[in-house]
Each structure stands twice: as C-alpha cells, then as structure tokens.
Amino acid sequence: MKNLILLTICLLITVNISAQIDVKVKKVPAKTLEKTIELRRDFHQFPELSNREFETGKKVANRLRELGIEVQTGIAKTGVKGILRGGKPGPVVALRADMDALPVTERVDIPFASKVRTTYLGKDVGVMHACGHDTHTASLLGAAEVLAGMRDEIAGTIVFIFQPAEEGAPPGETGGAQDMVKEGILKNPDVEAAFGLHVSSSLEVGKLEYRLGGFMAASDRLEIKVKGKQSHGSRPWTGVDPIVASAQIIMGLQTIVSRQSELTKEAVVISIGKIEAGVRNNIIPEEALMIGTIRTLDTAMQRIVHEKIRTTATKIAESMGATAEVTIDIGYPVTYNDIELTRAMVHTLYGTVGKENVRVVPARTGAEDFSFYAQKVPATFVFYGGRPSTTPKSEAPSHHTPDFYVDEGCLEVAIRTYCNLALNYLGMKR
C-alpha cells in the first residue's frame, strides 16, 4: 500500500512538472523573426545615449501601434509603454527592455555598425550599443508581435516597458527605471509581476542563467576630495601633498574589502575609476579628486561599507595633514529576484530552452536598474546567451567595449522567453 501511495505521488509530481513546462511559444514565426532582426539592425546602426532615445522611442511606439497595442509615450523623457489587453480577464504582468546605448566607438566589422558620433560631457565620442540593449528592444517588440497575435487567448493584460537611461542619466539629470516608477509605469493597469531579460556576450546562444534572491549588486557613486597645501615640487615638506594622500586612501579602501568585509556572506567591490589633480610636473597641487564605484549585494553590508569608507578616507588624510570630503551618491539597489516567483517560473525557462540549457549562477557585481521595479512588485531577471557557439568563451568580447558582439540567434530565444514568462505567469494566476 505504501509503495502504491508513493508511486501515485511520484506520478502526480511528474504530471505537475510536465504541466509547468508546457510552454505556448515553441517557435517564433519566420516573418516575426525577420522583422525583429531588421529592427535590431536599425537600432544598432543608429544608437542613442541615455535620456536621448528620441528616435528609438518613436520607432518603438510606431511599431506597437502597428500591432494594435495601446501606446503611451514620453514617460521619464523618452520611455514608451505598451498595453496589450487580452480577450479574457486576468492579472497584469510587465515585460521590460532598455533602449539606451553607450559612449563607445564601435570596432566590430558588420554592415550595420554604428557610425554615430555625439558630444558627451564636453567630448566628441562615438555611440554604440555596447551592452546589447538593441537586442533587448527588438526582441521585446518581437514578443509583442507574437503576443498580439494571441490576444484572444490571453487571460489578463501584458504591459510592455521600453525604458530609457538604464546606463545612467547624464550628470545633473535623472532618468531610467527610477523615474519610470515615479511616473506610474506600474500603474493603470496595476502590474502584479515583472520580468526582465539581458543578453550576455559570454554565454552561449540558446542558454539562460538566473539566480534566486540577490542577483546583481547595488551600485553607488563615490567621490573623495582630498585637500592639502600647495608647494613647489622640489620642496614637498613645505606643503601637504594630496596626491600621495589619495594614493594611501586608495590602498586603504582595498583593506575594507580584503580585511573588513564578510566576503563569505556576499561580495564587495570598491573601485576608483578616475583621479584628477595638478597642472604641471613641478607643482604639488592643493587638491585631488577621486571618483569611483561601490558594489554590494547586501543592504546591511552596504551601510557598513559606506561608514568604513568615510572613516578610512578621513583618518588617512588627517594622518598626513590633509582633509578628505567623502560624498556617496546612492545609485541602483540590489537587483532581487523574488524567490517564490522565480521558483515558480523556473520550469518555464526549462520548457523554453531545455533544462540542460538553464543554470543557476552566483551573484554578479554588475548593476541593473531593473531593481527599481523589483522593489515595487515581485520580479525575475534572467540572462540569455549571445555568444556564437564557434567563439570560445575566453575570446568573447566584454560588454561596454568597442568589440562587443552578440549573435542574432539570441533574438529568437529572447522572444520565446519573454512570451512564455508572461503567458505562463498569467496562466498560473488564473
């Protein structure tokens, strides 16, 4: 009898799992994929920087209107919202893509390479989709086309979020997901869950990666201004050298990571990316400026790290006769994958690309402003592969570089993943 009960339970579990991985979109229509590739190449060839996605936003809005989807524009400057109301009542789910490019000059030899140049922070720069946001925008439009063709079958509403400025608004401006949320992107209709995807140039096409809980780091901007006393370079003892003090502070900051942070709990990164000081070789300047980034994956550790940075910088400067002013601007919070929602959707990922092509990965110290949506509603963020199978992982170009490249085969996987996450969530909540 016990064996019979056990067998029955196993059969029920098997049936339940099979039902969970029964995805609706197993193949993207050829015409949809062709249009998606066309859009992606257009976005790639004509990229726009954060808060400047004017033409990209127009193209997105026009395509959504062609699909018969309700459109709202001008959200957080250039953001676009599409609303697809299904033929049956049900919950509301959101799918998000980001649209902005980076001040990077493209080196990739492709027919649709970007030749765009613009002015950024007073400098003439090239503009490139060096993080794959062109694939995000195009694939979500592809998903919108597939889902619009199924609207009568959909029990609920799907909100498409096309967001500006994920890479960060220019100095003196606000933007991105934080502004989208403030301006009501998750309201009218009220979104109950959100899903976001991001391409990875190091992950092979056809594969997906996710993590339960904290997935990507909080990102805070660090500025330390060290003030000393100017003197002749030949007589440093008559002044206070802020450059030497800054060097000592930089080394001191690394001990916060290596000796004062509980790294077995979560990772911590403190990096100084810019130093400004002095005007010529034989003058010790009065002031030095350091700008950097702080990455943390735990809010309690984040607070502790901020305190230790202030203490370390000010005390080292004081010990050398200088002063240090520390400014920490809170940036993106931790990108948190809701554990219950993500667990519920794992079988959708399995059904989309096969269980063998889905893996759980460690947390990343990169940051994503998808985190602002995840603070408001349960959310799940997933990476999809963009690396050609013929390219060794060690040779895959990194994101944010002139050689960044992804295979367009990733678009079909992204479209199916977007669609299946939305449809299975709506089906699960019925």
Annotate 217-236 with b (16+ C-beta within 10 A) or e (fewer). bbbbebebbbbbeebeeeee
CB atoms within 10 A of CB 277: 17
Pair (76, 100) in one structural domain:
yes
What is the reported pLDDT for 22? 72
Asked if pLDDT for residue 12 goes beyond 50, the answer is no
**Mind giving me the DSSP string for 323-343?**
EEEEEEEEEE--EEE-HHHHH
**Domain assignment present for 339:** no
Q: Decide if 34 is catalytic.
A: no
183 in the same domain as 246: no
CA distance 274 to 276: 7
User: Are 390 and 287 found together in one domain?
Assistant: no
Question: Looking at the structure, do residues 208 and 225 belong to the same domain, yes or no?
Answer: no
- Do 94 and 178 reside in the same domain of the chain? yes
Say how far residue 325 (Cα) sits from the centre of its chain.
Answer: 30
Verify that 152 and 253 share a domain, yes or no: no
- Indicate whether 14 belongs to any domain: no
> pLDDT tens for residues 160-206?
999 999 999 998 999 999 999 999 999 999 999 999 999 999 999 99
Q: Which of 48, 192, 209, 332 is catalytic?
A: 332
My answer on whether 183 and 260 are in the same domain is: no
In this predicted structure, the answer to whether residue 207 has a pLDDT above a threshold of 50 is yes
List the CATH number of the domain containing 134: 3.40.630.10
Q: What is the CATH number of the domain that holds 285?
A: 3.30.70.360
Note the pLDDT of residue 428: 83
Q: Is residue 320 part of a domain?
A: yes
- Residues 177 and 63 occupy one common structural domain: yes
In a domain, 64, yes or no: yes
Residues 127 and 81: their CA atoms lie apart, in Å, by 25
332 is catalytic: yes
The answer to whether position 184 is within a domain reads yes
pLDDT at 15: 41
For the stretch 102-153, pLDDT in tens is 999 999 999 999 999 999 999 999 999 999 999 999 999 999 999 999 999 9
DSSP H or E stretch at residue 316: helix 299-319
Number of domains in the chain: 2
Domain extent for 74: 24-213+355-368+380-428
Please tell me which residue in 286, 287, 325, 408 is annotated as part of the active site: 408
Of 141, 156, 138, 135, which is closest to residue 198 (Cα–Cα)?
135
398 within a domain of the structure (yes/no): yes
Q: How does residue 19 score in pLDDT terms, banded at 50, 70 and 90?
A: very low
pLDDT in the model for residue 294: 98
Percentage of residues in the chain with pLDDT exceeding 70? 95
Do 93 and 190 lie in a common domain?
yes
pLDDT, one tens digit per residue, over 325-334 is 999 999 999 9
Tell me: do 158 and 49 sit in the same domain: yes
Q: Phi and psi dihedrals of 417, rounded to 5?
A: -65, -45
- Whether 8 maps to a domain, the answer reads no
Q: For all residues of the chain together, what is the average pLDDT?
A: 94
Could you give the CA distance from residue 267 to residue 260 in angstroms, rounded to a whole number?
Answer: 12
245 close to 322: Cβ distance less than 8 angstroms = yes
Q: Do 153 and 280 belong to one domain? A: no
Does residue 347 lie in a domain region? Answer: no
**pLDDT above 60 for 390:** yes
State the pLDDT at residue 144: 98
Regarding whether 188 and 39 lie in a shared domain, the answer is yes
* pLDDT value at residue 230: 98
